[in-house]
């Protein structure tokens, strides 16, 4: 996914633009960014998670939402787009400029891209924390089998795990279910990691 700035807008102009656009457009400090244009690997990972997580959640009466659903982020108005979001219980929505915005996600998933990784790990995560129901964050790499899992504790600190074993399984605390690494990255081909030492082994 590449983030393409589309110029400066008032909030009212952005809301009208986003309401009618086919792209996913995010507003920040008067600028509008196009969050669309995912790579095939990015799209495949989203689909893999949706398939394997969605089937578990449906049996339990929980809800999984795709990337085009807007999320209300109190400290970063008017809303953001996550790649996937989920919750157990009744979803709550607020109407903003005629569109539904989810107010109570428990899990948010972002599939990382070179142009968005720093934003997803930094500012976006910081602002997601203003969502009172937000309990768990998955950051999924698309160039290698790797997932960062952050789980909110009762004291509002975040427990942090890095998972890179393709045989591992992730326990999703917020939803009470499991997601296998091999299912997340199913049908994804990874290029060999470049050696830190080039073609010459260290001595």
For 24, phi then psi, to 5°, come to -95, 110
Of residues 191 and 132, which shows the higher confidence score?
A: 132
In the prediction, which pLDDT does 59 show?
Answer: 85
pLDDT of 180 over the 70 cut: yes
CB neighbourhood size of 39 (10 A): 15
Fold for 38-184, please state it: tt1808, chain A (3.90.1570)
pLDDT at 3: 55
pLDDT higher than threshold 90 for residue 197: no
pLDDT, tens digit, 9 for 90 and up, residues 13-60 = 999 999 988 888 999 888 998 887 678 899 999 999 999 999 899 888
The per-residue pLDDT for 2 is 47
Q: Strand ranges (DSSP E) for the chain? A: 4-8, 25-28, 31-34, 62-65, 70-71, 80-81, 84-88, 93-96, 99-102, 107-111, 136-140, 147-152, 158-163, 169-172, 177-180
Is pLDDT above 50 for 1? no
User: Is the per-residue pLDDT at 201 higher than 80?
Assistant: no
Over residues 131-155, the pLDDT tens digits come to 999 999 999 999 899 999 999 999 9
Q: Contact 129/116 with Cβ under 8 angstroms? A: no
Tens digits of residue pLDDT in 83-123: 999 999 999 999 999 999 999 999 999 999 888 899 999 99
pTM, full prediction:
0.89
* C-beta of residue 81 within 8 angstroms of C-beta of residue 27: no
Mean pLDDT score across all residues of the chain: 90
Question: Residue 42 and residue 130: Cα distance in Å, rounded?
Answer: 26
């Amino acid at each position: 996914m590449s983030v393409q700035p589309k110029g400066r807008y008032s909030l009212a102009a952005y809301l009208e633009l986003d309401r009618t656009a086919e792209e996913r457009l995010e507003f920040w400090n008067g600028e509008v960014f196009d969050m669309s244009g995912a790579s095939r690997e990015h799209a495949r990972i989203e689909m893999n998670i949706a398939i394997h997580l969605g089937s578990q959640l449906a049996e339990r009466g929980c809800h999984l939402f795709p990337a085009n659903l807007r999320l209300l982020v109190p400290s970063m108005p008017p809303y953001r787009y996550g790649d996937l979001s989920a919750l157990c219980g009744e979803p709550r929505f607020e109407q903003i400029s005629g569109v539904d915005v989810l107010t109570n996600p428990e899990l948010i998933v972002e599939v990382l891209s070179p142009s968005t990784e720093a934003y997803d790990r930094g500012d976006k995560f910081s602002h997601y924390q203003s969502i009172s129901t937000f309990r768990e964050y998955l950051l999924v790499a698309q160039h290698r089998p790797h997932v960062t899992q952050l789980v909110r504790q009762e004291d509002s600190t975040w427990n942090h795990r890095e998972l890179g074993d393709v045989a591992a399984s992730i326990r999703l605390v917020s939803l009470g279910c499991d997601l296998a690494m091999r299912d997340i990255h199913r049908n994804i081909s990874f290029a060999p990691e470049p050696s830190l030492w080039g073609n010459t082994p260290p001595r």
